[in-house]
Structure 1
Amino acid sequence: MWAMAIRTLRHRTAALSATFLALFLGTVIVMTCGGLLETGIRNNAPAQRLAGADLVVTGDRDLPRGDETAVLPERPALDGSLTAAVRNVPGVARAVPERVFEAAVLGAGDAPDAQAHGWSSAAVTPYELTGGRAPEGPRDVVLDEATARAYGVRPGDKVRVAAQGSAEAYRLTGVVRTAHAVDRGAVFFTDDRARALSPAVADIAVTAAPGTDHGELKDRLGEVVADRTAKAQTPAKVVSGDDRGAVEYPEVLTRKEDLIALAGAFGGMATLVAVFVVSGTVALSVERRRREFALLRTIGGTPRQLRRLLLAETLMVALVAGAAGWFAGPPAGERLFEEFTGSGMVSEAVAYEQGWIPAVAAGGALLLTSLLGGFLGGRRGVRVTAVEAMAESAVRTRWATPARIVAALLFLAGAVALAILTWVLFDGPIAASTAGPTVLCAAIALALLGPGLTKLCTVLISGPVKAVTGAGGELAVLTARARAVRMAGVVTPVMLAVAMATANLYLQTTQTDASREAYAVNLRADAVVDSASGTLAPALTADVRATEGVAAAGAYVTSTGWIDGMGDEDGVPLQGIDARGAARTTALDPVEGDVADLTGRTIALPAGAADGRGVGDTVEVRFGDGAAAELRIAALFEGRAGYDTVFVPADLLAAHTDGALPQQILVRAADGTSAAALTANLEKTLADHPGTTVVDRDELIEANIKDTKTQAWVNYLMVGMIVAYTAISVVNNLVLSVSGRRREFGLQRLAGATRRQVLRMLTIEALIVAGIGVALGTAAAATALVPFSHAAADSLLPTGPLSVYAAIVSGAVALALTATLVPGWAALRARPAEAALAEE
């Protein structure tokens, strides 16, 4: 059977190429998603700045929430007495309490992002002086080589550094470098100055004494740390190896689940799409060989033998495609991962990992796809009796089987159920968790019913097509109706491409617009004061309030927290505002209480999420650094379902963030003050505060939805890969279908049709294919978009530019026309008499 399969493949280059391309691209996509999934699961971030520390004691960012574990977005504080206890553990040679805070060298242009530390932390990496000396006084500072080079300074020069709410002049006493790469720039103060700027200990870098077993030392330290932190109620842990990298780059932990979910979801989607693409390609290949199979059945071939032949051919192509895909998959995955890190979706500190697991997974998916695709694509062609095979050798008319109809109904029921769940149970962005699978279920159901739906749609449009296009259109309609099963093979990938592109693109635009609106509706500020270092001095708010043209101003802080009964394991957004300016800078509409009372240990909750609590009641809040506090409810306000945000005093929230200071100042203009005048006046005030800037409210809104936009961009990229794969299958199937009709074209030309008339017929056929595919794809997309738009944006229609849909439709039409007319023109180059004798 294998020898026969090899001989038949030698004469089936078109079908071979189409199947090879479908399997090859499917393998590459699955391997790419597998590599991303493995990277997310391993989440290895090799240490950079902490590479010289054998062990690191750090706050525990894991926060148990029922059956789930959340990741704290802020750095948990360490007990102040913990350093001395660590130093007393046998085997510890050195324990360095580290202060870590954001810093910016002003005027440094393209200098790398910098973190500030005490000078004792330089020995942890280790950094070594290449010029000058160590800092000795409160106005001394040392920079790493990259930062000093970008700023163009040398030891002895004056530099201005913004850190912890202030920007001051320092003397550059030295420049340091390290033997290995460190992505972030470094600014070193004296230990006393670093302690004054940032009193909290971020972590403790531990160096083991020579001859000490690191594993045993880690266990001893773990016991001491657990005992001390239990008493202080500040959980901490001891980490080693690549876990040290997550201490330097906390986003390694907070972004982990995003990468795993994304890679898993799109990997599964890609596999399902590959099954349909391959089965459709194989089905068309079998359609072209019905005469061959009819003859084989007539001379005694059994369905089992034909099925074995078909599967053997598909597996042989799969082996070659898999080998090529395994070589192309890792580079493609690494390139895609670079796009993820560049967009901020994944921390640049995470190392890309692709071992043998994705290769085996891709091999299994390839085997499943080839076997299932070959079985589904050829099941009818090999099961018919010899008489039926001869009768149907030219055109296949039967397609419906009980199993196919039942499967279609099940997927259709699943789409309806998911759509109802999205409409009824969910609000806000979480509705996307059911909206995404809805379109996939609907598309699969329509694909299984494709031949019947294609024939029905052809009947419905036959009248208008014939009326507009005349004889050419009539011939195209007759051909389409007669070849409904074959046409469905090319309509299906068009439908899949349109459905996935339309649904996923408009899901993202709707979610982004809804998030933007939900944030903007609570914001009345006309301008925002920002800082290069990410923090502002609390006293600056008073200076801004005193600025001409300012009606109100208040400090502003953002973070994430957890409140029982609100949100999920990811927590709820916390916004810290100043009660003095809240009524003018925010648009909170209290239904009970007053936002002016939002001072001290108080909180303002959305009325719909209050869970029966009212003003004066208390609620426990877990802040982003893990600290818990009982806060009194000062106000309840109207909130938008699905976009719950909690408000607390800015100074209270700031104390539980990494910077421990206000992050921005919201400014409301006085009546009659223009935006330009307000900005000019604020810039005059801020001239005495280097490192501060004024931005408009739109920039604040865009910054708030940055994560949503990043997620959207990544989804666009992943969906684009799958849509491109599906689009290639459209071309594959159309080329395969048209190139197999040379005999038909030859007979038409012998009957008197000109080449132009045949091409006109093909053009109309292509437009019919594109039209049906677009219509069915749009219907599949609507099953997800309508309920999601209702849940996320209180609208039946998604938001987003119509040009996106126009581009999708235009692309589908262009693909159908190109993939039909190019092979059609090539097929018409043969002499009519020769073409009439060609194989169908």
Structure 2
Amino acid sequence: MISFALHNLRHRKASFAGAFLALLCAAALVCAFGMLLETGLRGTIAAARYAGTPVIVAGDQNVRETIRKSEDKVKTKAKPIAERAWIAAGLADRLRALPGVTSVVTEVTFPAYITGVFSGTGAEPGASTSSAAPSADAPMASTLFLGHGWESSALTPFTVAQGRAPKADDEVVTDAAAGLRVGSRVTIQSTAEPRVYRVVGVTAQALENQPTLFFLTAEARRLAGHPGLVSAIGVFPATEVTAALKDASAQAPAEVKGAVAVAYTGEARGPLEFLNADKARIKLISLGGALGGTSLLVAIIVVVGTFALSIQQRLREIALLRAVAATPRQIRKMIGAEALLISLPAGAIGAALGLGLGFWLQARFVALSAIPVNLKLVVSPFPIFAAVLATVVAAWTAARVSARRTARVRPVEALGDAALAPAALSLVRVLAGLGCIAGGVTLTIVLSTLSSEAASNPVTMLTALLWTVAVALLGPVIARILVSVPALPLRASGAGGYLAAANLRTGARRLASVIAPLTLMVTMTCTILFVQDTTGHAVATQQRDGTRAAHVLGPHVSATAVEAVRHAPGVTAVTEILHTTVRIGLAKHGAQAVTPTGLGKTMDLGVRSGSIDLLAENTVAVSETLGFKVGDQIKLTLGDGTPAALKVVATYTRNLGFGDLTLAHSLVAAHVDNPLSDTVLVTGSSPEGLAKALRNFPGIMVADQATVAAEREQAGAEINYVAMGLIIAFTVIAVGNTLAMATSDRTREFALLRLVGTTRRQILRMLRLETLSVVAISVLLGTAAALITISAFSSGMTGSALPYISPLTYALIVVGAAILALAATGFPARLALDGHPAETIGARE
């Protein structure tokens, strides 16, 4: 059968080109997403600032929970915390006393923003400066710098190329990439009030993706805002210090004890330096696994349809083989061999393209700040082998499934079957379709109960795919039922319409192979786009309805700026808001920290029970979705790992807009890396009055809540759009591919129509009407599948089964599907109509 398979490939290139292209795209996606998955599992974060330091002593960046499964079996689970855990500065003295330690360097790390730059009149550090001329090479005010004390410059190490090290608390040294000159004056907004500093030095070095500012050590510790604590301690040379840490931590003063100290060496230094590394790796694991699996499922659906269409086009050939004594087993072996011969090169070429696609995805995620630049993409043979293997298995399975019925027909029925394939479905196919419907119903019910995006997103895509698979399996039956609707008006619309109606009525099996990928495209596109829109709209609605303040200030608002606003004429209430992440047990929850005074005038959380007026440092308000009641005690872990036990004083409904927990600002501010308020709600006054009050605080903008919310949600949505957009592109290619194959196979039909007097124009009109009818059916089915899925998602996430669907976006999807279908059928049809009808029939025969 291998020789027959090779012969078929040589002489039926057009029939197999569609399957080859579908498999190639599938292999590329599986390889690319496999690279992301492997990077999440095995990727390492290269240390940059800590690369030259053998041992870094810092706080434990995990919250741990011990689970006792039995008397003899105890398991400890760990999850990363969101903020930096600080340790006692006194540990440095104890580490210096350890044998073999030659040097100990303490470090504090804090965020700093340059909000104004002015060039001085002289290049020397002591020269006078002028505030009249802004520096042309000043960095953007939105650029985040990392502030450190000059003592920690030895960790990298940094050396001064121009000027000198800072000697006063109003002096600063910038790195080589900052674009500042010695003698410039800069206004820096750090964790405290903004202050003007003089640039007295520029380093010879700069770290990638880590713009750095060095202050006098005492000033840096003041700005860090953690008295008696440091963010890390560097130990030279490499030595075993772990055993001494426990004793040193225990002897630290209680008021400055800080977090549990841990020694980090080797590859462990990178994640400590880039605290979002673990979050990025988890994101890559979830994206790579979910999207790789989705790509494979989509590929199987597409390839099954493509092979089914290819086999339909060869029914006469297969019938002749059966008539000359070819056994069903030989037919299946031949079709299986064809699948292997197609899938192996398609998988290899696709996997090679997938490598480039993986690097492109990594670059996009870095640009969107989803992963750190130091998380390098892991390149190994495993994603390549997985892509090739998945492609081969998908192709072989699709070919055998598609050939199952054709190979089993009796020889005397074969030619009749080739002439007119009956639309009856096998019992196995019907049962499989009904099983997919049952699975879709089950997953839809499950999805309606999920209230977190992490849990609902994978289920959402699987639910949509199951509904689409059901459509593909029961396609001929669905097509026969639905084509009767457009057939009635088509028969009354001239010769082209009459022919289109006749084809729709008799070609149910061929139509099913075209409807399936079109339905898949509409379902996937609607689901991906409108799930994001539904969540974003719910967030925006809750924030709009829950925000009573007229003005929103941000970002990075200091306590001094807030006080200036409070004393502005007409201001009646000011609420500072700081966003963070806390853990209840090991479960992660978004939280907001607010100033309780006057909260009712600026914010309405939709309180269901209790009173938000009782919010204080030892209390908390929670979303009712968490299941707590007023009076309950919640043990949680703050962003930097500090435990807290808080009493529930209120439950509320608007958790999407304001987070699962609402805490007191004074409690949280001391346990985050950046205590500056993300936003500040203000009632009373006017934009002009606020601008006047903030004239000494550059960089703070006056906006509305919707604008701030949109900016906060944009990055996360873009990440999903980039990844899921590839699957949409794959389905678009598959749809065009299938439609072109289906149209190309009708060359003989077009020639016969022309011989009996049908004009070229009538045939093209027939095709357009057929195509538009198929698009209408596919849009109907795809919309129904997507709507069921999105409604279940919306019910779980927002509490309402009514999703948000943009009419314009939906119209563009429908129009796009129609244009794609018309183009994919029109072009091959025109090519098929170019030849002489008699010659075409002779060639086909």
- Assess if the C-alpha contact under 8 Å between 2:192 and 2:223 holds in 1: no
Structure 1 pair 64–389 and aligned structure 2 pair: CA distance change class (3 A): farther
Give the partner amino acid of 1:12. R
Name the SS for the 1:331 alignment partner.
helix
1:221 alignment partner in structure 2:
241
User: Equivalents in 2 of 1:49, 1:126: separation in Å?
Assistant: 8
User: Equivalents in 2 of 1:158, 1:716: separation in Å?
Assistant: 42
Name the SS for the 1:555 alignment partner.
strand
Structure 1 pair 484–154 and aligned structure 2 pair: CA distance change class (3 A): same
Structure 1 pair 790–839 and aligned structure 2 pair: CA distance change class (3 A): same
- Assess if the C-alpha contact under 8 Å between 1:45 and 1:351 holds in 2: yes
- 2:241 corresponds to 1:187: no
Displacement of 1:129 in angstroms is 1.3
TM-score relative to the length of structure 1 = 0.91
Aligned counterparts, 1:492-507, within 5 A: 492-507=516-531
Name the SS for the 2:671 alignment partner.
coil
Q: Which runs of 5+ in 1 are unaligned?
A: none
Structure 1 pair 452–632 and aligned structure 2 pair: CA distance change class (3 A): closer
Name the SS for the 2:194 alignment partner.
strand
- 2:803 corresponds to 1:778: no
- Count of residue pairs the alignment pairs up: 806
Displacement of 1:492 in angstroms is 0.8
Deviations 1:427-468 (A, max 9, x none): 78854453332111111111111111112211233223323x
1:541 alignment partner in structure 2:
562
User: Equivalents in 2 of 1:664, 1:803: separation in Å?
Assistant: 32
- Assess if the C-alpha contact under 8 Å between 1:529 and 1:692 holds in 2: yes
Name the SS for the 1:510 alignment partner.
helix
Displacement of 1:293 in angstroms is 1.0
Name the SS for the 1:554 alignment partner.
strand
Deviations 1:783-828 (A, max 9, x none): 2022223333344432131111111111111111111111111111
Structure 1 pair 487–609 and aligned structure 2 pair: CA distance change class (3 A): closer
Aligned counterparts, 1:115-264, within 5 A: 115-147=146-178, 149=179, 153-178=180-205, 181-198=207-224, 200=226, 201-209=229-237, 214=238, 217=239, 220-229=240-249, 234-264=259-289
User: Equivalents in 2 of 1:6, 1:609: separation in Å?
Assistant: 61
User: Equivalents in 2 of 1:733, 1:394: separation in Å?
Assistant: 22
Name the SS for the 1:349 alignment partner.
coil
- 2:584 corresponds to 1:569: no
Structure 1 residue corresponding to 2:641, chosen from 626, 630, 634? 626
- Assess if the C-alpha contact under 8 Å between 1:491 and 1:773 holds in 2: yes
Structure 1 pair 592–816 and aligned structure 2 pair: CA distance change class (3 A): closer
Stretch deviating more after TM superposition (416-425 or 506-515): 416-425
User: Equivalents in 1 of 2:538, 2:298: separation in Å?
Assistant: 30
- Assess if the C-alpha contact under 8 Å between 1:92 and 1:206 holds in 2: no
CA RMSD of aligned residues (A): 2.5
- Assess if the C-alpha contact under 8 Å between 2:578 and 2:675 holds in 1: no
Displacement of 1:738 in angstroms is 1.5
Structure 1 pair 718–163 and aligned structure 2 pair: CA distance change class (3 A): closer
1:287 alignment partner in structure 2:
312
User: Equivalents in 2 of 1:229, 1:800: separation in Å?
Assistant: 56
Displacement of 1:64 in angstroms is 3.2
Name the SS for the 1:647 alignment partner.
strand
User: Equivalents in 2 of 1:323, 1:588: separation in Å?
Assistant: 55
Deviations 1:668-704 (A, max 9, x none): 11xxx5xxxx22212222223345443333333334x
Give the partner amino acid of 1:658. D
Deviations 1:297-327 (A, max 9, x none): 1111112212222121221121221221122
Give the partner amino acid of 2:680. I
Aligned counterparts, 1:297-316, within 5 A: 297-316=322-341
User: Equivalents in 2 of 1:460, 1:665: separation in Å?
Assistant: 58
TM-score relative to the length of structure 2 = 0.90
Structure 1 pair 610–407 and aligned structure 2 pair: CA distance change class (3 A): closer
Structure 1 pair 604–252 and aligned structure 2 pair: CA distance change class (3 A): same
Deviations 1:29-85 (A, max 9, x none): 111111111122224221122221122222222223568643211111213332223
Deviations 1:513-570 (A, max 9, x none): 1122233433222223335xx351x344332111012111133222122346xxx722
User: Equivalents in 2 of 1:37, 1:96: separation in Å?
Assistant: 37
Aligned counterparts, 1:74-473, within 5 A: 74-107=83-116, 108-110=138-140, 112-147=143-178, 149=179, 153-178=180-205, 181-198=207-224, 200=226, 201-209=229-237, 214=238, 217=239, 220-229=240-249, 234-398=259-423, 400-424=425-449, 426=451, 431-467=456-492, 469-473=493-497
User: Equivalents in 2 of 1:592, 1:381: separation in Å?
Assistant: 65
Displacement of 1:228 in angstroms is 4.2
Structure 2 residue corresponding to 1:636, chosen from 624, 645, 650? 650
Structure 1 pair 46–472 and aligned structure 2 pair: CA distance change class (3 A): same
Stretch deviating more after TM superposition (301-310 or 549-558): 549-558
Q: Which runs of 5+ in 2 are unaligned?
A: 68-75, 117-137, 252-256
1:518 alignment partner in structure 2:
542
- Assess if the C-alpha contact under 8 Å between 2:630 and 2:650 holds in 1: no
Structure 1 pair 660–763 and aligned structure 2 pair: CA distance change class (3 A): closer
Displacement of 1:242 in angstroms is 3.7
Deviations 1:252-301 (A, max 9, x none): 12232222112211111110111121121111111111111111111111
Stretch deviating more after TM superposition (487-496 or 582-591): 582-591
Structure 1 pair 612–691 and aligned structure 2 pair: CA distance change class (3 A): closer
Give the partner amino acid of 2:59. G
User: Equivalents in 1 of 2:625, 2:746: separation in Å?
Assistant: 64
- 2:811 corresponds to 1:797: no
1:59 alignment partner in structure 2:
59
Structure 2 residue corresponding to 1:599, chosen from 610, 613, 616? 616
Aligned counterparts, 1:419-818, within 5 A: 419-424=444-449, 426=451, 431-467=456-492, 469-530=493-554, 534=556, 536=558, 538-563=559-584, 569-571=587-589, 573-588=590-605, 594-606=611-623, 609=626, 611-614=628-631, 618-633=633-648, 635-640=649-654, 645-669=660-684, 673=685, 678-703=686-711, 705-706=712-713, 709-818=714-823
Displacement of 1:664 in angstroms is 4.2
Structure 1 pair 126–523 and aligned structure 2 pair: CA distance change class (3 A): same
2:120 alignment partner in structure 1:
none
- Assess if the C-alpha contact under 8 Å between 1:510 and 1:792 holds in 2: no
